[in-house]
Each structure stands twice: as C-alpha cells, then as structure tokens.
Amino acid sequence: MGLLAYFNGQFVPLAEVKIGIQTHALHYGTACFEGIRGYWNPDAEQMYIFRLREHYERLANSARTIRMKLPASVDELCDITVELIARQGLKEDVYIRPLLYKSNEIIGVRLHGLDDAFVVYALPFGKYLDSEQGVRCRVSSWRRVEDGAIPARCKITGSYINSALAKSEAVEDGYDEAILLNDDGHVAEGSGENIFLVAGGELVTPALSENILPGITRNALIRIALEEMGMRTVERKVDRTELYSADEVFLCGTAAEVTPVLEIDRRPIGNGQIGQTTRKLQKLFFEVVKGVNPKYAAWCRAVYPVTQRATP
C-alpha cells in the first residue's frame, strides 16, 4: 500500500492531497504544525509513537494562539494518527506531520473569519542530524523571534523563516547547524532544536522565558536525566560564552533526537569529542522511545495489536 494521509476527514493516498495556490496559509504563514516520531522496534514487532498526546496538546495550544480550532479532540486525533500508521502497515521509523491551516483562497492579511483545515501524514524518516558522530555549529547572525512579535512558544509555519535563514547561513558557511540568540543576546535554541549544556556536573538549558519552543523531547530529557542519572537541570539565562566553556553541549528535538555538538564557532567543546553524559542520555533516550524501558511506557503509544508482537 502507498503512503496515506488523513485529509478532509478521510484516509486518502498522500499523492492525491493537493491545495490551491491561492490558499491563505501558503501566502501568509497562517498555519501551525507538529513533528512527531514513531519508532519501529523489530524485537517487539511494534511501532511506538513517542509522546503522541503531548504533541497534539501543543498543537492545540498553537491553534488557540492563532485563532484556529482542531477538527476533533486531542484523544480523537491521537486515534486517527494511530490508525493512519496501522493502515499503511509501516515497519520502520517514521516522521508524522499534522498541519492545521487557513484554507480560504483569498487575498488579505488576517486570522478572523477564515476556515481551518487539517491534514496529517507520515513518512519513513531516518536521522535529521548526525547524532552518532556529532555536529559543528555556529552562532547565527539572525536572532530568535520574540514572543511579542511572533509567538515563540508555538509551531507556526510563518515563523520558521527565522529558522530557515539561520540554518542556511550556517550550512553555507561550512557548519551543520545554527544556534540562535534572543534579542537580549542570550542563548535561545537551534534552528529546529532545543539546546543543553553540561557544566559543573549539572545540565543547563535556556528557560522557557528565553523565547524558546517548549520542547517535548527537552521535557523528557530533563526527567530522564534526573530519574535515571540523578542529574538535575537548571533552566536559566545562558550567555553565549558559556557555550564555549561548557564540558558538553547537545541539541535535542523530535527530528534531532539527542545530537552531540563537538564545536561551536570553531571552538572545540570540552575535548572536542562526544561527552559521557551526552552518550548516556542518548542511550537512555532510545531505550525509552523504542519501548524498551517499561518505566516510561505511558510515553509510547503502540500502533499494532499486542498479539502481533514476537516472543522474545
């Protein structure tokens, strides 16, 4: 079976999903979205979708902020997403993209009085960044959007031009990823990831008030680090120079997972190698998302009936 999408209340072939060139969201960025990963565990013969409900709850928050409504409840959208994967029989890691957008084909900048449409689809998806070997970053000349201008806590399509500018600048300058500062000059996040430092035996990450996205992977790692490693996380303002003096730095997110940073602005982080804390968190994270650690089973939504699982 080919790839499917849930579009206009029906499951249809993904290739048949089209929107018109006059669609409001295309012209004005009036849409919000999520990125969700599903992990295939071959030993259990099961697909686990990581923190599915939390992603739809965040989509609901984004929608409220830009005056949109989801077409169904969070629980119903979770069930639709599970059915979407199951109908396709996908047995590899996938990336799931729900998108809520203003669908009117009109000219005019506004949010009020417009119709909302929803689509969700899933694609086979591997690594977004090189989490095995690590990445090189640069601090971007572009600043992170301010919440008072474009809601920084929401995944709004139009705001991602900010990330695109920073990412292309970094890659074209020979780096793998960008790190953005906020307008106060403090560290915010990557172009599509949250950021952590390891310093003085603690994890340090920019506070939510620093115009960062409230990352679902970020939240999970804070809990995993505390409960599995006894390592607390300090959420605060982070100065740019703290990046250079940190023992370790890593990026995290649905796409990036846990990606070590080896170098920033041509300065090696620590000894320039992947640090022990980052490696341990990586290992713990993948045990969680693949459904291996039963302690975090509530974070993993199984797609296929339990009876289909192989006997260990």
Q: Express each pLDDT in 9-55 by its tens digit.
A: 999 999 999 999 999 999 999 999 999 999 999 999 999 999 999 99
Q: Is 4-124's fold the same as 135-294's? A: no
What pLDDT was estimated at residue 306?
72
Return the active site residues: 155
Query: Which two structure tokens, joined as six digits, stand for 283?
Result: 């290992």
Which CATH number applies to 4-124? 3.30.470.10
135-294: CATH topology is D-amino Acid Aminotransferase; Chain A, domain 2 (3.20.10)
Q: What HEC string does 120-184 produce? A: EEEEECCCCCCCCCCEEEEEEEEECCCCCCCCCCCCEHHHHHHHHHHHHHHHHCCCCEEEEECCC
Q: Note the pTM of the prediction, 2 decimals.
A: 0.95
Q: pLDDT tens across 90-107, in order?
A: 999 999 999 999 999 999
Helices (H), the chain: 24-28, 52-65, 74-88, 161-172, 216-229, 240-245, 276-289
Q: Which pLDDT band holds residue 307 (cuts at 50, 70, 90)? A: low
- At residue 1, does pLDDT exceed 70? no
